[in-house]
Amino acid sequence: MNINLKEYQERAVDQLTDKVKGLLELEGIGEVCVFQAPTGSGKTIMTAKFIEGIIREMPKTDLCFVWVSIGKGNLHLQSKHSLERIFGGSPRVSLIEEEFNGGRERIVRNEVVVANWEKLRTKDRESGDWKNVLMKDGEKINFREVLAKTREQRQIILIIDESHIGATAERTNELRKEINADVILEMSATPTITQNVFEIVRVNPAEVIEEGMIKKELIINEGINKIENDEKDSQEVVLEMAFQKRAELKKLFEKEKVKVNPLVLIQIPTAEAGKDKIEAVREFLGKRNIVERKNGNGNGKLAIWLADQKSELLDWISEPDNEIEFLIFKQAIDTGWDCPRAHILVKFRESHSETFEIQTVGRILRMPEQKHYDSEDLNRGYIYTNVQSILVKKEEYNPNIIKHLNSKRIEDYKSIKLTSYYKQRVDYGDVTASFTPTFEKSANEYFGLKGDHTLFAECILNVEKKGISLNIKHYEQEIIADTKLDMKSFDELQGKITPETIKRLMIAGNDLDNMFKQVIKSNLGSFRGVKRSVSPVKTAIYCWFRKYLGAESWSEPSFLTQKIFLHNGNKAIFEKILRESIEAYREVKEDEVREKVKESEKYYNFELPKELFFNDHTDELVEVKKYAYDKCYLGKDRSEPEKNFEKFLDDNSEKISWWWKNGENKQDYFGVRYEYNNEIFTFYPDYLVQLNDGRLGILEIKQLGDRDGSGKTKAKAEALQKHLADQKNKKVFGGVVIEKNGDWLINSENVYDWEKCESGDWSEWKILEL
């Protein structure tokens, strides 16, 4: 299956392939590589592509794979289905209970065997004998014996899916012992890192969010205070809020012209009280015409999934425009269940305290279309709960994803009428389809061809005049033949073995394709998205061969094109053309990116958000004067100059109506467009300060020792002045602010010149007057 990986996915696959390849080459067995990737990042896809990659990178190594899930449920069945879809038939994917019930002796080369360890591991408490027929001794060969026979012929890579499951990683330790694999790859968003871990590959959550794969944040009990009816109990309140929020999200999706029906997940207690909760939820939703479909009756907007039901229901519900709006479930839905349209989680009290962590709410993390929308409300997940106290567990890996604290804008806030800038990411540093005409132009210039050619024969003649050989029956590979090794001095052999005879054989098609790809990769220059770039470059080369050399009429056009391109006498010429076309393409790419940015960027009317959300592991409550919100939550990672500036604002609070610490990377925050190194970025100034005299300051704090050697501050400062000049609010001012000798100075010049400051000239910096 041809899957266009995200940039972070490509990087992770390459790292996994390199690290596991290195571990396989070590002596001994059981080396562990941990793969840590956030929920929703595409762990299964990345690991599947790693399997394809390690097979391709180590063609002479005999490998097989055992893919195991831990814990109850049918995650292994979902994994098998996903792997089959990704692989498209090769390598082979087998289910242990279907293939290894006594009829097979070993796992074949490159095969991926999928299993659920929870179903295999049960033993008799008294005797310690295995209970599962696949593992116990008997007349037929068991899976333990299959593994032993497999080890005689090939190396085993054990892949443990969701390896964190189990309080003390007991299941993982059992697996290591019983499978006895050469290398173990543990996959999890929250793995347990122990001393026996040799390698770690991590995916940065910020990159996953930036790519639009998962939601930017999860909000707990948003707007819960809007419900003013004292007669409603807490259970009815959270259901009402979830009902209203779902209706809001549905309208926003319609505004975006996206066919997504947002789903509400309702998790009820597993205890006996769960039955009463189901009936209470049924009654609440029934009053709003949301009912189950039974025997052809009912609108089917409500569904109930219990532990003993088959998982096919979950697959059906996952469709983006499925009619079901509310799903009640009695226990945690299988880890790994993928339902990107799930947007809201209702979690009823099960005890007096409840801990919220990523694994609890992971089912509502994914984005429906793997992108973020113009409406920030669609880029958030929502949790409504009636627990008496909320404890948000610190997520070391992605600490700011769950927001359970909120602050509200002050009531006497008045409109500031600012214009803000925002753009989505549009470029991944890769070569795209627009490369085809650039390659065509470079190749034609080299061979002296005209774009409006009429005869292939004329083009072929010109190409051959430039030294290209087109009459190739076979693209052959040299291998050693008939070379004898003297056994008397075998232990003394070292270095390169000189062959007595060279045999030329036709190279295998897959080897040829790998060589072709490698040549392309080696000539991409500084384009970052290497894997993403290979396919468009291949297409450009194929198109040129078809258009000018008539390759379309050849028996195997792609295969023969690769043969001609890589032929010893031709390769250097085609590589030169490729390098030149890649260099010429940079300007084309820059123009393309600018056009994409124009399509994605927008200017919009900005006001301070009515409500903001925070996490006490990354933000702290600060006691200040004249803040724009009822509670002042500020990031714990603020710089010392920022903290000093906040004290300056506090000391001058009598001149201030309100002040606000701006954020970044969301439309909730105030942004400015700026260009740096021919790329377009968004700059988020640090502070907005509304003064009593009506002026509004937009201020960026700079440390005195920051020399701005790269020129980035200059680009931001000058873009800010241009942005302020275009504002409708003419009382707005701003600039870069620095503390020097106890005074706060501001630079509001249209041209920012830090070199003057380096030479002692501070004439362009004025005292900041509040």
Whether omega before 91 lies within 30 degrees of 0, making that bond cis, reads yes
The whole-angstrom separation of Cα 249 and Cα 241 is 12
Residue 188: count of CB within 10 angstroms of its CB: 23
Do residues 159 and 67 touch, judged by C-beta distance below 8 A? yes
**Helices 530-549 and 568-600, axial angle in degrees (round to 10):** 120
The whole-angstrom separation of Cα 460 and Cα 744 is 72
pLDDT of residue 418: 93
Reduce the DSSP state of residue 178 to 3 states and report it.
Answer: helix
Query: Which residue's structure tokens are 């609010």?
Result: 729
pLDDT of residue 390: 61
Residues in the chain: 770
pLDDT of residue 131: 58
Reduce the DSSP state of residue 318 to 3 states and report it.
Answer: coil
Query: How far from 659 is each of 144, 413, 627, CA to CA, in Å?
Result: 67, 11, 5
pLDDT tens column, 244-291: 999 999 999 999 999 999 999 998 876 666 778 888 899 999 999 999
Q: Which residues of the chain have pLDDT under 50?
A: 166-168, 352, 397, 474-497, 500, 502-505
pLDDT of residue 354: 58
pLDDT tens column, 702-754: 988 777 767 899 999 999 999 999 888 889 999 999 999 999 999 999 999 98
Closest CA to 715 of 747, 665, 674, 670: 674
Closest CA to 188 of 402, 397, 400, 401: 397
Closest CA to 325 of 349, 310, 314, 341: 341
The whole-angstrom separation of Cα 657 and Cα 453 is 72
Query: How far from 519 is each of 55, 469, 524, 538, CA to CA, in Å?
Result: 20, 18, 9, 11
pLDDT of residue 416: 93
pLDDT of residue 258: 93
Closest CA to 6 of 36, 41, 38: 41
pLDDT of residue 167: 38
Do residues 182 and 156 touch, judged by C-beta distance below 8 A? yes
pLDDT of residue 355: 56
pLDDT of residue 396: 53
The whole-angstrom separation of Cα 277 and Cα 265 is 14
φ/ψ of residue 603, rounded to 5? -105, 135
Centroid of chain to Cα 541: 31
At a CB cut-off of 8 Å and minimum separation 6, what does 578 contact? 439, 519, 520, 523, 537, 541
